[in-house]
């Protein structure tokens, strides 16, 4: 008789709250997206099917990112002139979008379901939890969490994207929100926070597959994630509120993320969930999975006790 391990129930989360962004179509290793008034074509390895829209729709794109043979290389080909950057809105946030040396444009639209979840958890807490956002990129998760009432520490290893994040804060009219902007290596910062006795109620992690810190420190997802999760556990309060972990372009599965976060939070009363996040095409025929995630949420009784302690 074969014994089958009871596996976690994995979910598919679609970021459907957008008004100014849309995934118009996907296929042949690409995706056709609308960012405000402009259409962009970018590589997408998950789009292994045929496009659903006629070729004329794809030909109407304003710019196409052409990948180079090397993994992270490539360049943009412009069919029409685009502004250096343009404004996009999501609910109460405004932010700058622009084509850059990479295929990235300053926002991962599928992450909006992560912003919404963390914001809902923070608002329900009814307090002002301390939240650490590691690998914070252009700041949208930080702005969302802070607008819900959190005191946020935002960390990234790139001075350029921190400047971009602060510009997004100003563009959104959220200048007074309590956000601390930190340029540092994630692992080193968390280790220092532990020595300083700093504690956080919630942690958001969105690590890349590979990256470098401001002083050339090397980040490799598989090599350093276990140590980072362990270090993050050491800077949690005695009754933490939530953990959110997202990963892109890695060979790990959602189940891998589930067990990593469940083990990290085994000493606390809460629930771990995991799955994939992505985007639904405007046709609603297909869901394009773009990342995997795991979340841990404190049990309600633990949250109530945490509030009473404050």
Q: Residue 307's pLDDT is what?
A: 43
Residue 99 counted as domain residue = no
Does 292 lie in the same domain as 183?
Answer: yes
Q: Residue 73's pLDDT is what?
A: 80
Q: Residue 304's pLDDT is what?
A: 52
pLDDT tens column, 119-154: 999 999 988 999 999 999 999 999 999 999 999 999
Reported confidence tier of residue 309, pLDDT bands at 50, 70, 90: very low
| 141 to 61, 165, 191: CA distances (angstroms) | 28, 10, 22
Average the pLDDT over each of 26-30, 71-75, 80-84, 224-228 and give the range with the smallest value: 71-75
Per-residue pLDDT for 72 more than 70? no
Does 194 lie in the same domain as 275?
Answer: yes
Q: Residue 302's pLDDT is what?
A: 54
| 5 to 2, 8, 138, 273: CA distances (angstroms) | 10, 10, 40, 17
pTM for this predicted structure = 0.91
The answer to whether 219 touches 212, Cβ cutoff 8 Å, is yes
Residue 179 counted as domain residue = yes
Per-residue pLDDT for 100 more than 90? no
Q: Residue 214's pLDDT is what?
A: 74
User: CATH number for the domain including 260?
Assistant: 3.40.50.150
Does 143 lie in the same domain as 292?
Answer: yes
Does 212 lie in the same domain as 69?
Answer: no
Per-residue pLDDT for 303 more than 60? no
What is the percent of the chain with per-residue pLDDT over 90, rounded to a whole number?
Answer: 80
What is the percent of the chain with per-residue pLDDT over 70, rounded to a whole number?
Answer: 92
Return the closest-CA partner of residue 246 out of 121, 91, 96, 134: 134
Residue 96 counted as domain residue = no
Joined tokens for residue 35: 């960012």
Does 251 lie in the same domain as 153?
Answer: yes
Q: What is the DSSP letter of 268?
A: S
Q: What is the mean pLDDT of the chain?
A: 91
Torsion over CA: 277, 266, 179, 211 (sign):
negative
Does 113 lie in the same domain as 80?
Answer: no
Residue 6 counted as domain residue = no
Does 185 lie in the same domain as 287?
Answer: yes
User: CATH number for the domain including 42?
Assistant: 2.60.40.1180
CB atoms within 10 A of CB 98: 14
Q: Residue 223's pLDDT is what?
A: 78
Residue where one domain finishes, among candidates 84, 118, 139: 84
Between residues 238 and 69, the one the model is more confident about: 238
pLDDT tens column, 111-121: 999 999 999 99
Mean pLDDT of 66-92: 90
Per-residue pLDDT for 182 more than 90? yes
Which helix (DSSP H) or strand (DSSP E) does residue 297 occupy? strand 287-298
Residue 185 counted as domain residue = yes
Residue 89 counted as domain residue = no
Does 281 lie in the same domain as 147?
Answer: yes
Does 187 lie in the same domain as 55?
Answer: no
Residue where one domain finishes, among candidates 69, 84, 99: 84
Does 65 lie in the same domain as 126?
Answer: no
Does 217 lie in the same domain as 69?
Answer: no
Reported confidence tier of residue 71, pLDDT bands at 50, 70, 90: low
Which helix (DSSP H) or strand (DSSP E) does residue 113 occupy? helix 112-125
Q: Residue 310's pLDDT is what?
A: 42
Residue 289 counted as domain residue = yes
Mean pLDDT of 252-273: 95
pLDDT tens column, 187-216: 999 999 999 999 999 999 998 776 777 777
Structural domain count of the chain: 2
Residue 120 counted as domain residue = yes
* Host domain of residue 287: 109-309
Joined tokens for residue 154: 């935002």
Q: What is the DSSP letter of 109?
A: G
Does 148 lie in the same domain as 71?
Answer: no
The answer to whether 111 touches 119, Cβ cutoff 8 Å, is no
């Amino acid at each position: 008789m074969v014994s089958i391990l009871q596996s976690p129930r994995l979910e598919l989360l679609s970021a459907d709250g957008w008004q100014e962004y849309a995934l118009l179509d996907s296929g042949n290793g690409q995706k056709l997206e609308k960012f405000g008034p402009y259409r962009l074509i970018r590589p997408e390895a998950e789009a292994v099917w045929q496009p659903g829209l006629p070729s004329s729709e794809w030909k109407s794109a304003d710019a196409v990112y052409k990948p180079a043979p090397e993994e992270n290389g490539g360049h943009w080909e412009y069919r029409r002139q685009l502004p250096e950057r343009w404004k996009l809105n999501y609910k109460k946030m405004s932010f700058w979008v622009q084509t850059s040396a990479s295929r990235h444009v300053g926002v991962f639209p599928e992450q909006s379901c992560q912003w919404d979840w963390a914001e809902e958890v923070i608002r329900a807490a009814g307090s002002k939890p301390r939240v650490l956002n590691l690998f914070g990129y252009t700041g949208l998760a930080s702005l969302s969490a802070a607008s819900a009432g959190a005191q946020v520490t935002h960390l990234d290893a790139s001075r350029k994207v921190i400047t971009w994040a602060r510009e997004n804060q100003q563009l959104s009219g959220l200048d007074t929100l309590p956000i601390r902007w930190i340029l540092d290596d994630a692992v080193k910062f968390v280790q220092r926070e532990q020595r300083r006795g700093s504690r956080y109620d919630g942690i958001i992690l969105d690590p890349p597959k590979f990256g470098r810190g401001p002083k050339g420190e090397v980040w490799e997802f598989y090599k350093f994630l276990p140590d980072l999760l362990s270090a993050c556990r050491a800077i949690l309060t005695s009754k933490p509120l939530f953990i959110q972990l997202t990963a892109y372009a890695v060979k790990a599965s959602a189940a891998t993320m589930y067990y990593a976060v469940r083990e990290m939070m085994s000493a606390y009363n809460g629930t771990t969930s995991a799955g994939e996040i992505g985007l639904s095409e405007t046709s609603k025929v297909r869901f394009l999975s773009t990342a995997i995630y795991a979340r841990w949420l404190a049990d309600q009784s633990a949250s109530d006790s945490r509030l009473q302690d404050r």
